[in-house]
Amino acid sequence: MYHLIKKDVIMQKRAIGLSLLFIFFFTFTLSEIGPSGLVVNILAVTYMLALGASAVEDKNNSDLMLVSLPIKKDTIVSSKYISVYIFALYAAFVNYLIYLIVNQLNLPIKVLPFTSGGFFFSIVAVSLFCSITLPLIFKYGFLKSRVISIILFFVFIAGGSTLVDNLSKKEDSILIQKISTLFHSSSDAQIALLLFIPVVIILFVSYLISLNFYKNREF
């Protein structure tokens, strides 16, 4: 599994340089929109790297080579899920580093604030996003599912940031109020757990679907 994740990273070695520029660009341009900017930033970089690896894989129908090697299908599928998180953590880490440097040196530039909440929501967003796109990629390959994944990506960015903004503004709708009271009455850890459990379940179900798709795919 380690070797497959390493493979995804090696294949994206050039894109990783590009992604650094991306992060820098986003951290300045998105700094106005607050915590949701971090979610957009991390999701976008993860999208670019993780799906970029799949794109390269699809180009020469390299799945054919991969499944001809003595590798179990569940190893291939689970490695893909883990590489997504590797890329997400990388994006988060770079963001954190920039934030840290700018803050420590008191530089007069505005960058994205790195909050634990923002990080948490980023991971949730990445999880939900890959829960939907990866099964599609495992069933149809990257190229055929590309349009759907792009649409999903923008839905997530638009939807996600609106949601986060609304939540932070605490508008007066009944639902939000109910949620806020729930959130206020619980500790941060409890809220995290409350969100975390369904995400893990969704992720696990997504993995099973992907595995099923991949095992039944005809190459």
**Of 23, 37, 50, 72, which lies in the binding site for other proteins, with binding defined by CB under 8 A?**
72
- Judged by CB under 8 A, the number of residues near other proteins is 23
CA 21 to chain centre: 18
**Of 51, 57, 137, 161, which lies in the binding site for other proteins, with binding defined by CB under 8 A?**
57
The answer to whether 10 contacts other proteins (rule: CB under 8 A) is yes
d(CA 87, CA 106): 28
**Of 21, 32, 60, 147, which lies in the binding site for other proteins, with binding defined by CB under 8 A?**
60
User: Measured from the CB atom, is 74 or 165 closer to other proteins?
Assistant: 74
User: Measured from the CB atom, is 163 or 217 closer to other proteins?
Assistant: 217
Closest contact distance (angstroms) between CB of 74 and other proteins is: 11
**Of 18, 67, 97, 155, which lies in the binding site for other proteins, with binding defined by CB under 8 A?**
67
- Among the listed ranges 1-9, 146-154, 179-187, 199-207, the one in contact with other proteins (CB under 8 A) is 1-9
**Of 25, 59, 93, 201, which lies in the binding site for other proteins, with binding defined by CB under 8 A?**
59
Q: Which residues bind other proteins (CB under 8 A)?
A: 3, 6-7, 10-11, 14, 56-57, 59-62, 64-65, 67-72, 216, 218-219
